[in-house]
Amino acid sequence: MGFWDDVERHMVRYSAAGRFTPEVVVRAEGSYVFTESGRRILDFTSGQMSAILGHSHPEIVSTIQRQVATLDHLFSGMLSPPVVDLARRLAGSLPAPLEKVLLLTTGAESNEAAIRMAKLVTGKHEIVSFARSWHGMTQAAAAATYSSGRKGYGPTSPGNYAIPVPARGVDWRQQLDLAFDLIDAQSVGSLAACIVEPILSSGGVIDLPEGYLGVLQAKCREREMLLIVDEAQTGLCRTGTWYAFERDGVVPDILTLSKTLGAGLPLAAVVTSAAIEEEAHARGYLFFTTHVSDPLVAAVGNTVLDVLERDKLDVRAAESGAFLRDGLLALAEKHDIITDVRGRGLLAGLELASDEAGAEVTRRCLALGLHMNVVQLPGMVGVFRIAPPLTATQEEISEGLDILDRALA
């Protein structure tokens, strides 16, 4: 039996597409993955939008080797220096009053913990999120996810409501007023929180208009709801600032981090205020998981912060992002099938006129040595999510743009 025979026989297909990338990857380094057949493929998605320092970063490798030999996993009630150090440093990177940190594994888990905390603290249960949101596949996170995966699984948690995503050419303030008029009409008077991504990634790389988060937060305050900001993909320098919410001058009640925090390893965080944490604790907050506060991945998180700070990767992401955007705009001038270029920093969206073209360009890019990801949602055309590592050089970005140009042609 060969590799693909084993795949066919034993692997559960865990995406709706039902297919895996037709390459056997055996190694990854920097901005590239390498296949069993000897091909080198430029990774324009940072793995699962996570490997912000590239693959097998030498300092991450060194940290893992050192830490796994000394302290890797503990009973969930025990604490270790890497965990407390990471909590302190994350708090130090954020505006007041965000200072209390819970370290977990995945984005879904951090959103689950945040929603659970919001419900307990407010004593309410209704959750609002965007109609193209993606917050994870666990119960509360999946109930707040609308971009895909809702049909066929029976009822979700009661009290989940969707609001429209701001669209080009629409008065977003008027749209948001109408959205909350509809929420108020449906609510049973138990609105606990609104959870949003500052840039909807799986929803098609839609950057919220400047000022939107501030108005949304005001809507939440009027209803005594908490604002949860999910920065799984946008946090830690990806957009050219440490956190995407900073642009709008708001501070969320609860912030969730994941993908970028572990730079490819399973590490996530929930960050909130001392007041919210105190109230949650007083009400018996419970989120006791097998890998809460694990020292191995916490040590990796500290190394990620070391590299981001030392190498000023927020500045580099802004500069590389501008270079990438200029290149994508040049492609848009050349290829009529490109209908929009959007995003922020090194998280870019390239919209095509048809989803069929998106699938074909994705296949052609892979054949030419570039891994791309195209979002194809019902009622949407194809949108490429482009997110190279923050460590990618301009030469590597140029290489990706050249391959994309050839594939579009």
Binned at pLDDT 50, 70 and 90, residue 106 comes out as very high
Provide the token pair at 174: 């008027």
Is there a single domain that holds both residue 220 and residue 269? yes
Name the burial class of residue 13, with classes exposed (0-12), middle (13-18) and buried (19+) by CB atoms within 10 angstroms of its CB. exposed
Is there a single domain that holds both residue 111 and residue 239? yes
Binned at pLDDT 50, 70 and 90, residue 168 comes out as confident
- Average pLDDT of span 218-242: 98
Cα–Cα nearest to 159, from 137, 140, 178? 140
Binned at pLDDT 50, 70 and 90, residue 355 comes out as confident
Supply the pLDDT for residue 382: 86
Provide the token pair at 363: 């296949």
CATH number assigned to the domain comprising residue 402: 3.90.1150.10
pTM (two decimals): 0.97
DSSP for 301-345 reads HHHHHHHHHHTTHHHHHHHHHHHHHHHHHHHHHH-TTEEEEEEET
Which residue among the candidates 112, 197, 248, 253 is catalytic per the annotation? 197
Residue 57 has pLDDT above 70, yes or no: yes
230 is a catalytic site residue: yes
Residue 122 has pLDDT above 90, yes or no: yes
Is there a single domain that holds both residue 297 and residue 316? no
Strands of 186-314 (E only): list them. 191-196, 199-200, 206-207, 226-230, 254-257, 268-273
Query: pLDDT tens digits, residue range 320-348?
Result: 999 999 999 999 999 999 999 999 999 99
Start-to-end CA distance of the chain, whole Å, equals 39
**291, 249 Cβ separation under 8 angstroms:** no
Is there a single domain that holds both residue 128 and residue 80? yes
Of 270, 291, 310, which one is at a domain's C-terminal end? 310
Provide the token pair at 279: 């109230």
Of the listed ranges 17-21, 29-33, 72-76, 261-265, the one predicted with least confidence: 17-21
Which residue among the candidates 43, 230, 248, 294 is catalytic per the annotation? 230
Is there a single domain that holds both residue 290 and residue 316? no
Is there a single domain that holds both residue 170 and residue 276? yes
Instruction: Tell me the C-alpha to C-alpha distance, in Å, between residue 235 and each of 71, 231, 240, 269.
Output: 27, 5, 10, 11
Supply the pLDDT for residue 167: 87
Is there a single domain that holds both residue 274 and residue 356? no
Is there a single domain that holds both residue 49 and residue 76? no
- Average pLDDT of span 81-99: 98
The percent of residues in the chain predicted with pLDDT above 90, rounded, is 92
- Residue 264 falls within a domain, yes or no? yes
Residue-averaged pLDDT of the chain: 96
Which residue among the candidates 134, 238, 242, 253 is catalytic per the annotation? 134
Instruction: Tell me the C-alpha to C-alpha distance, in Å, between residue 365 and each of 357, 361, 398.
Output: 12, 6, 14
173 is a catalytic site residue: no
- Residue 32 falls within a domain, yes or no? yes
328 Cβ contact partners less than 8 Å away, ≥ 6 residues apart: 338, 341, 348, 350, 386, 401
Is there a single domain that holds both residue 321 and residue 372? yes
Cα–Cα nearest to 270, from 75, 398, 136? 136
Cα–Cα nearest to 265, from 68, 14, 41, 51? 51
- Residue 64 falls within a domain, yes or no? no
259 is a catalytic site residue: yes
Binned at pLDDT 50, 70 and 90, residue 154 comes out as very high
Of 310, 330, 351, which one is at a domain's C-terminal end? 310
CATH number assigned to the domain comprising residue 200: 3.40.640.10
Is there a single domain that holds both residue 225 and residue 114? yes
- Residue 66 falls within a domain, yes or no? no
Give the 3-state secondary structure of residue 242.
Answer: coil
- Residue 63 falls within a domain, yes or no? no
Supply the pLDDT for residue 379: 56
Of the listed ranges 101-115, 290-304, 376-390, the one predicted with least confidence: 376-390
Of the listed ranges 98-112, 141-155, 260-274, the one predicted with least confidence: 141-155
Of 258, 280, 310, which one is at a domain's C-terminal end? 310
Is there a single domain that holds both residue 209 and residue 281? yes
Buried b (16+ CB within 10 A) or exposed e, 341-374: bbbbbbbbbbbbeebebbebbbebbbeeebbbbb
- Residue 62 falls within a domain, yes or no? no
233 is a catalytic site residue: yes
232 Cβ contact partners less than 8 Å away, ≥ 6 residues apart: 49, 107, 110, 197, 201, 256, 257, 258, 259, 260, 268
DSSP for 328-388 reads HHHHHHH-TTEEEEEEETTEEEEEES-HHHHHHHHHHHHHHTEE-EEE--TT---EEEE--
Q: State how far the Cα of 61 lies from the Cα of 67, in Å rounded to an integer.
A: 10
Binned at pLDDT 50, 70 and 90, residue 372 comes out as very high
Give, in degrees to the nearest 5, the angle at Cα 339 between 196 and 201: 20
- Residue 337 falls within a domain, yes or no? yes
Residue 16 has pLDDT above 80, yes or no: no
126 is a catalytic site residue: no
Query: pLDDT tens digits, residue range 233-243?
Result: 999 999 999 99
- Residue 65 falls within a domain, yes or no? no
Residue 17 belongs to domain spanning? 3-57+312-408
Residue 68 has pLDDT above 60, yes or no: yes
Number of domains in the chain: 2
385 is a catalytic site residue: yes
Is there a single domain that holds both residue 115 and residue 183? yes
Which residue among the candidates 238, 316, 342, 385 is catalytic per the annotation? 385
Which residue among the candidates 119, 124, 132, 259 is catalytic per the annotation? 259
